[in-house]
Amino acid sequence: MFFTTEEILETIRMVQTEHLDIRTITLGVNLLDCRRDRLEETVISISKRLKEVTRDFLDVVKKVELEYGIPIVNRRVAITPVSLLIQSEDIEEYLYLSKGLDKIAEEMGLDFIGGYTAFLEYEINKRGLAFIKAIPLILNETSRLCASIVVASTRGGINVDAIKEIAYIILDTARLKNNPISCAKLIVMSNPPPDNPFMAGAFQGIERGEKVLNVGISGPGTVRAALERLPKEANLIDVAEEIKRIAFKITRAGEFIGKEISKRLDIKFGSVDISLAPTPDEGDSVGKIIEKIGLEHIGAPGSTAVLFLINDAIKRGGLMASSSIGGLSGTFIPVSEDKSIAEAVSCGALTLEKLEALTNVCSVGLDMIPIPGDIDPYSLMGIILDEMAIGVMANKTTAVRILPVPGGKPGEWIELGGLLGKAPIINVNSFSCKGIFDRGGRIPPPVNSFRN
């Protein structure tokens, strides 16, 4: 891949002044052949495989980071879904394996390990129930392991019974040790991609090979800075073209770094996820991009259209730069991780209902949203159900990562720390949806799922 001197200098500027970084390098590892008759032997086999596969991983990532001067924020591993590694009705077995995985991640120096994953869009049997009931203990007694539960897909429809169970699990996870931050490692999904490098939803797809490296880049600050350089008379076509241009640049940089690491490790390069993933740093914000285009606050009328423009332009620019675009690729709107979005919630410009509307055109869904800890469980079920319906009907990935705050009231701010940021607790519509979940069952897939 050839870079001109101008491109190199522009990339240096993006890194130094505009928050450009490689948000994550995620090594996916297939562990299916690590299954043994005894759980203890399975954990030993997994430990041996992960240590073998990742032996030079962190060293190579660090060397590439230093050589090329582009920060790499997180080093992660995504494994074969745990629900495929053990199938048990014993909660203690899931806890034992999870603690083993967390210990391995700590010993290897990983930031996170993803793959405590189950697929429940069709049914929830006794094994699936045990799997999710272990989650509150697991997430409160481990620090690096992330969990994801798939409850809906365009092919399978929406498992309402699974959503009912997982809502209680989310609440129990937050309440067990009065720790809503533990819920930041738990996500409920529809239509997940098999190559998602972002936690908490990362896992190694069973058709993705023995090991593969995926890259997730991030550049909200870079996009915002580019828009600030546009003349004031620039129209929306000009805006979209400038976002495409910057997306092209940052995708090329991300793919170059990913392929360089893959080559040195002698493993397959998977894909680059070009999502704009904000941080709490000043200016590194999707909300600020939306405001720069012409709105007083994200959440104002017109926000959905502007987010659509940004998301589409990011995808167009990334596709021009790479044939290996994957993951979620677009824009994230996590409330606590984006200072501008959190402020929009605080001043009333952005509500939960408007956030849901925005998820029709963003890349993931309702993300990092603090809610009152005393929420009616059925209201939480309804929030999840609505978001899954958006994903199923649009045949896109959607997700819910929500943080019940024990004792918290709407309007109060919660400090989460680090990249998780801080945010106000959002108000939740209290009108009941209990009757839907009393009926139970599944919502069948939409007609468009039968086209193929």
pLDDT band at 13 (very low <50, low <70, confident <90, very high): low
pLDDT at 346 over 80: yes
User: Can you tell me the distance from the alpha carbon of 428 to that of 74, in angstroms, rounded to the nearest whole number?
Assistant: 33
Q: What's the pLDDT band for 12 if we cut at 50, 70, 90?
A: low
337 or 55: which leads in pLDDT = 337
| Residue keyed to tokens 């991009």 | 289
Higher pLDDT residue, 326 or 99? 99
Which range is least confidently modeled, 14-28, 101-115, 233-247?
A: 14-28
HSE (CB half, 13 Å, CA atoms) of 445?
16
Look up the CATH number of domain 1-452. Answer: 3.20.70.20
Mean pLDDT, rounded, for 326-333: 84
Q: What is the pLDDT of residues 62-87, one digit of tens each?
A: 999 888 888 888 899 999 999 999 98
| Residue range 381-418, pLDDT digits in tens | 999 999 999 999 999 999 999 999 999 999 999 999 88
One-letter amino acid at 161 equals: D
pLDDT in tens, 219-272: 788 888 889 889 988 999 999 999 999 988 888 888 888 999 999 999 999 888
Q: Which of 316-330, 366-380, 397-411, 430-444 has the lowest mean pLDDT?
A: 316-330
Please tell me the predicted confidence (pLDDT) of residue 284: 82
Q: Which of 35-39, 316-320, 404-408 has the highest mean pLDDT?
A: 404-408
Least confident of 14-18, 105-109, 392-396: 14-18
DSSP conformational letter for 324? -
pLDDT given at position 338: 92
- Of the listed ranges 85-99, 118-132, 192-206, 397-411, the one predicted with least confidence: 192-206
Residue 15 is predicted with a pLDDT of 55
Q: What is the pLDDT of residue 278?
A: 85
